[in-house]
A and B are shown apart, each in its own frame.
Chain A
Amino acid sequence: MRFFDPHIHMTSRTTDDYQAMADAGVRAVIEPAFWLGQPRTTVGSFVDYFSSIVGWERFRAAQFGISHYCAIGLNSKEANNEGLAREVLELLPLYALKEGVVAVGEIGYDEITAAEERAYQAQLEFALEHDMVVMVHSPHRDKKNGILRSLDVAAEIGIPMGKLVIDHNNEETVQGVLDRGAWAAFTIYPDTKMGSQRMVELLKQYGPERMIVDSSADWGVSDPLAVPRTAALMLEQGVDPEWVNLTCWQNALDVYAQSGQIDVAALERKPQVDQSQLFGENSVLRGQEPRVDAAVAN
């Protein structure tokens, strides 16, 4: 089966992860810009980060036959450093319109402060101006209220609900998002946000329309195989395979392909690893096949 993980932070992951994802059928990923676990102190750090997710990371993914897209935006936590936030927002036109950028994201609220709201609004206006999809991060604390507010503000600015993805939903928030006509994404995390079993129950209750499964795997405890693992559980528990396809592939493709940045036909074809880029001291694979059960062969 093929999978699209539309929210994963690959800069924080290893080549072993890429290999395991490719082996498990993950064919495409979206890497939204977010924070690095600690706050950045200068705009130059954002420049290099944005550059890496539109450049090197895409190249790294391609070496495993995985198509890498990204979303560019100022995350909610760092929006609170207002001086820096202004400088980062000035970078937006330089990065958000590049090839392979499928959305403005991940943006939204963390503590629901006034500074977060200003950054969120500014980025929504940018998205509207350039007819872009928006990927919204929902807060850990006061989640339900934060989600409703992010929907309201997006609607006020005029973002079409068909171009709005609200992420990190749970049992308490999903109905509100679906009722508004936006897309509801679910992050499958060990121990927190949402588990695979809960996801299966949600799917049975709400059906597959506008429902999206992702891993949001990053530098914390998380699982880059969360999408294929959840799909396996769905199938095991009798969920219609077409529903699995919709939530783990097609829905994400439908919403983000509105960007015009995804070559859908190419993605439908079986992925090809570009052998010409596999060898050499500087390539990611360094001429080796990553294996744990064999001596280091070079």
Chain B
Amino acid sequence: MPHGGPATMNPTRALMSTDRINQDLAFWLDAALEPHWGEEGAVWWAQALERVGAGLSGSTFGATLSVASRHTPRVALDPDADALAQADEILPGWNPERWDVLEAARVRLLLTRPDLEKDTFPQDLATLCQHADEGELRAIYKSLALLPEAERFSTRAAEGCRTNIVPVFESVACDTPFPFTCFDDLAWNQMLIKGLFIGAPLVRIVGLDRRLNPELARMALDLAEERRSAGRVVQPELWMCLGTHGGQRALDSLQHELASDHVVGRRAACLGLARAGHGDLVEPDSQLTLIRERMLAGDTGRRSFTQLED
């Protein structure tokens, strides 16, 4: 079965290509990291940047990435709203809101390598991943969208989605434009369905609403039927995966959910119906008052699938 490449659905520009953007990123990360360094950490950091900038071989760089954990405070990066707006300006869809300091430092070290655009770099990155622990994998995957010619790493990112460690999965899938821009349909659809399975927050998957497709809707509807056959609740976020796809089968499944006694599922199904262009099928109901207000306001994008509980 042929799978459309990302270009078929997303004819946008390649992620990173110019030195200027790279410099903006480095500047952003330095500014975000600066308030977190203690005296010892700052000395180590300056030396580490200098050594990496001068060019380190594969395993020496790996050891530097590892040892960063021994010099970096274990706290959230905590960028303010202005910084986050800047981040989104530098690279639309990039949201480092939940990064920690160690992740940011490791990403900065990666971006400092002078060989990012060389042919040998992807193999070096693969070796790095081979020896990486969970924290290093999180940082490496978080960095992918920020690397020049990021599409070179789509196979690596798809491999990241095969992890069973949820924080690593989220580093590939959430708060980054990478999957939207670089995944083919197979990898994109598998990522979303796996996200449902492991409870990763689909609301944080950048570009989700713009890459809905009939195959994804079919997979989601199959999953809904599987859950019902097993007597399980359908994940409310599953209804984000339909959009206008799935035809009558989708409408039937959404209405089935709407008739259930699972309040959060009912509310999500309302949003699903609205996204399918059938918001009119939702009757007034005390459990659905706030959701109907959201629908009337046209607030049915991926981010509307939050705060569905009472």
A, B from the same assembly: yes
Q: Which residues of A contact B59 (CB under 8 A)?
A: 90, 93-94
Q: Is B66 an interface residue (CB 8 A)?
A: yes
Q: Which residues of B contact A279 (CB under 8 A)?
A: 198-199
0/1 interface trace, chain B 69-111, chain A, CB 8 Å (1 if under): 1100010000000000000000000000000000000000000
Q: How far is the CA of A217 from the CA of B212 in the complex (A)?
A: 49
Q: How far is the CA of A261 from the CA of B74 in the complex (A)?
A: 11
Q: How far is the CA of A72 from the CA of B132 in the complex (A)?
A: 14
Q: Is A171 an interface residue (CB 8 A)?
A: no
Per the CB 8 Å criterion, the residue count for chain A at the interface is 27
Closest to A70 in B: B133
Q: Is A58 an interface residue (CB 8 A)?
A: yes
Partner of B63 from the list A47, A51, A97, A99 (CB cut-off 8 Å) is: A97
CB-based contact B66/A98 at 8 Å: yes
Q: How far is the CB of B203 from chain A (nearest CB, A)?
A: 14
Q: Indicate the member of B74, B135, B199 with the most A CB atoms within 10 Å.
A: B199
Residues A259-291 near B (CB distance < 8 A)? 260-261, 263, 276-277, 279-283
CB-based contact A59/B130 at 8 Å: no
Q: Which residues of A contact B152 (CB under 8 A)?
A: none
Residues A63-121 near B (CB distance < 8 A)? 90-91, 93-95, 97-100
Q: Is A207 an interface residue (CB 8 A)?
A: no
Q: Which residues of B contact A56 (CB under 8 A)?
A: 164-165
Interface of B, secondary structure class, is helix
Q: How far is the CA of A282 from the CA of B197 in the complex (A)?
A: 8
Q: Which residues of B contact A59 (CB under 8 A)?
A: 134, 164-165
Q: Is A176 an interface residue (CB 8 A)?
A: no
Q: How far is the CA of A150 from the CA of B229 in the complex (A)?
A: 62
A56-B165, A281-B197 known, 4 other contacts, Cβ within 8 Å: A55-B132, A55-B137, A95-B66, A99-B69
Q: How far is the CB of A51 from chain B (nearest CB, A)?
A: 7
CB-based contact A282/B164 at 8 Å: yes
Closest to B62 in A: A94
Q: Indicate the member of A47, A94, A263 with the most B CB atoms within 10 Å.
A: A94
CB-based contact B131/A277 at 8 Å: no
Q: How far is the CA of A263 from the CA of B73 in the complex (A)?
A: 12
